[in-house]
Structure 1
Amino acid sequence: MAFDLKRILYLLAVFSLPLLAVAADCECQPSDEGHDKGKSRTLKIIAIFCILVGSSAGCAIPSLGRRFPALRPDTNFFFAIKAFAAGVILATAFVHILPVLELGIIVHSIIIGISLGASESPSTIRPLVAALTFHQFFEGIGLGGCIVQARFRLKSTVTMAIFFSITTPLGIVIGIGISSAYNENSPTALIVEGLLDAAAAGILNYMALVDLLAEDFMNPRVHKSGMLQLLISVSLLVGTALMSLLGIWA
């Protein structure tokens, strides 16, 4: 036991050295170029409502299958939409997180919201509003689809949908509140954000590959239909491509 403890402490010491080196060498300085607090505040408020509506709509669509047959979980259309959402989530992990070392969907959403809320540059915020609304909408569809298929009670479904929908707007509000004191280029902020984003990338990859894609592609109905396999594959690629394209601006 003592040997294992010594080994763990040794590994922690080794892995902490790069972090200490980053903290010692980092001389990042914030830039005030293009900052406009008035315009930024307006855009942040717009972002809160756009992302809240997009997230809520994404989670709500799968639940509408009770009234609209085309949106039921056992239809080809729904399989395609889930594959598209899985593509969006995969691209979020690989394109938007891993390259910048950006814990799951909720932590990831709060981090983006704080970054947007703390920004004072309208040119940075504008493309983020559209990109994040799109991202949260389809991520909400993927999450909503899993919730519907799990057959949770209405109260649990509504609670989970609301909790997901408010994460990014909550992050924006936090970002606005700390914008005067928050320095996104400080060594501490960079290290903490990097660690959380690395964890978020892993969880998003697992969710897209195991919870969404593997379950759908192993479905007997998909195995029996070559056309449905093609539809899901194309939908997956389109979702991945569109979310990757948004990486240019966000």
Structure 2
Amino acid sequence: MVRNNPNVVVVTILFLLLSLPLVSCEECSSKYEGGCHDKNEALKLKVIAIFCILLSSMIGVCIPIFTTSVPALKPDGDLFVVIKAFACGVILAIGYMHVMPDSFADLTSPCLPQHPWHKFPFTTFIAMISAIFTLMVDSFSLSYFKKKLPVSSSVNNLETTKELELGHVHGHGLAIANGHEKNVNAEQLLRYRVVAQVLELGIVVHSVVIGLSMGASENPCTIKPLIAALCFHQLFEGMGLGGCILQADYGVKMKVIMVFFFSVTTPFGIALGIGLSEVYSDTSPTALIVEGVLNAISAGLLNYMALVDLLANEFMGTKLQSRIKLQLLCYIAVFLGAGGMSVMAIWA
């Protein structure tokens, strides 16, 4: 159910973007206009951006998945926990410092009528509703799959059965304890899987929007710093998502699907923006509303996931609660990740 959500979101975004009006407001100026305007040079940079961002995204999301052979980087290792905390700080800053300001800029644009867009804080309202809705999806998904856990977790049942058989040799009480432990681990695994899929959903929405914005730009002076900013953005965001995918312990097929969607959404958005650049107007009221609403939804989702499902879940867990020094290192990593990505807002 949750697994197919990225596909549905991408199709919905495409439908909305293709339905944008072709006529823009004459009194409004494009956010990409300025002294630097060269369509051919911008196109070259956008093609370079597609390959650079694709490569950065793939490297970022694959680093946690393909470094499991290094003992220090295993999911239960201290270094992995610190790196994940850094990546969570990056995701948090992306929501607060990149996505939400973009939504504010779109939904308070002078191209939109004063009433109601300038009379009500739609960005924060939509972000709040998005966070609550994410909590609902998170909660209902866990409740639904927990009810099916004893039936669907065939591997878990097999392991529990084996340990029950061992219990006849070593003692019945030990077998029951081991069986209970396995059920707890299965529930935690389910939690990781829901978190990974919901997080990817928010990232996919945001990635298509920022890719479309870059693809529609014809200002090389704006695109050049954006390429570097988005490469770092995708690299560290990918590390955060990759860590969640690794902890979710998916099969190869599901890992490939999630890595593929994360890696291609921003380049796909850029390609879509290039294709629509002749008819797409970033000053169109419909374009501003669609982008603003999608960014606000993504901001609420990312902020909730970063604070509740990633940071709070990690810092309130037994591993960090029992080790103050490691907890302090993780807090420093969070501040470094959030601070570094916040500084990058200057160039983005």
Q: Percent identity?
A: 54
Structure 1 gaps of 5+ residues are: 1-24
AA of the residue aligned to 1:92: I
For residues 80-111 of structure 1, the C-alpha deviation after alignment (integer angstroms, 9 at most, x for no partner) is 11111111111111111222316711010000
For residues 212-247 of structure 1, the C-alpha deviation after alignment (integer angstroms, 9 at most, x for no partner) is 112211221211211111110000000111110011
Q: Is the 8 A contact 1:26 1:187 kept in 2?
A: no
Alignment match of 1:61 (pick from 41, 60, 63): 63
Partner of 1:180: 278
For residues 76 and 278 of structure 2, the distance between their equivalents in structure 1, rounded to whole angstroms, comes to 50
1:214 to 1:119, Cα distance in 2 relative to 1, 3 A: same
1:48 and 2:50 are equivalent in the alignment: yes
Q: Is the 8 A contact 1:54 1:134 kept in 2?
A: yes
Partner of 1:74: 76
For residues 62-96 of structure 1, the C-alpha deviation after alignment (integer angstroms, 9 at most, x for no partner) is 11233111221111111111111111111111111
Alignment match of 2:300 (pick from 195, 202, 208): 202
For residues 38-82 of structure 1, the C-alpha deviation after alignment (integer angstroms, 9 at most, x for no partner) is 211111111111111111111111112331112211111111111
Give 1 or 2 for the bigger CA radius of gyration. Answer: 2
Q: Is the 8 A contact 1:62 1:144 kept in 2?
A: yes
Give matches, 1:229-244, under 5 Å.
Answer: 229-244=327-342
For residues 178 and 114 of structure 1, the distance between their equivalents in structure 2, rounded to whole angstroms, comes to 9
Partner of 1:162: 260
1:124 and 2:222 are equivalent in the alignment: yes
AA of the residue aligned to 1:214: A
Partner of 1:88: 90
Tell me which moved more, 97-106 or 140-149: 97-106
AA of the residue aligned to 2:46: K
Alignment match of 1:140 (pick from 238, 241, 263): 238
Moved over 6 A (4+): none
AA of the residue aligned to 1:244: S
Q: Is the 8 A contact 2:205 2:298 kept in 1?
A: yes
Partner of 1:33: 35
Which structure has more RCO (C-alpha within 8 Å, separation ≥ 6)? 2
Alignment match of 1:113 (pick from 188, 206, 211): 211
Q: Is the 8 A contact 1:64 1:71 kept in 2?
A: no
For the aligned residue pairs, the C-alpha RMSD in angstroms reads: 1.6
Q: Is the 8 A contact 2:61 2:242 kept in 1?
A: yes
For residues 82 and 221 of structure 2, the distance between their equivalents in structure 1, rounded to whole angstroms, comes to 34
Alignment match of 2:313 (pick from 189, 193, 215): 215
Structure 2 gaps of 5+ residues are: 1-24, 105-200
Q: Is the 8 A contact 1:93 1:200 kept in 2?
A: yes
For residues 158 and 240 of structure 1, the distance between their equivalents in structure 2, rounded to whole angstroms, comes to 28
AA of the residue aligned to 2:51: F
